[in-house]
A = this chain, B = another copy of it.
């Protein structure tokens, strides 16, 4: 497995996701302070932001100030949360893996005991 390539593509995906979160954050801030601008930004951002860089490049042509604001917010987001992600993701995968295994075992056990032999009446 080419871990380096997977790491690089995962980092790109994460960076695009943070761009998307930054856009959502800015839209929610603007909806309080400047609803028409919030509406304008959400109109520009209707399509899912699959590629954060292509999105920003497009926005830069339409509204550079807005693009700068989103760039600042995504950088802030990255600095705020990135360091916590490795532990969170690793433990989440570990826990959910365990949970899937547990559920599977439970299902197997239920299948085995689904048609149980009725207990013998007590001898007295």
Binding site for B on A (CB under 8 A): 1, 3, 6-15, 17-18, 21, 25, 52-53, 56-57, 60, 64, 67-68, 71, 74-75, 77-86, 88-90, 92-94, 96-97, 100-101, 103-104
Assess the A14–B15 pair: CB atoms within 8 A: no
Assess the B75–A97 pair: CB atoms within 8 A: yes
Known A-B contacts A1-B25, A67-B100, A94-B75; the reply to A13 vs B17 at CB < 8 A is yes
Assess the A104–B12 pair: CB atoms within 8 A: no
Q: What are 25 A-B residue pairs whose CB atoms fall within 8 Å in the complex?
A: A7-B88, A9-B21, A10-B14, A10-B21, A10-B81, A10-B85, A11-B88, A11-B92, A14-B14, A14-B17, A14-B89, A15-B89, A15-B92, A15-B93, A18-B93, A57-B100, A60-B100, A60-B104, A68-B101, A71-B97, A71-B100, A74-B97, A78-B90, A82-B89, A82-B90
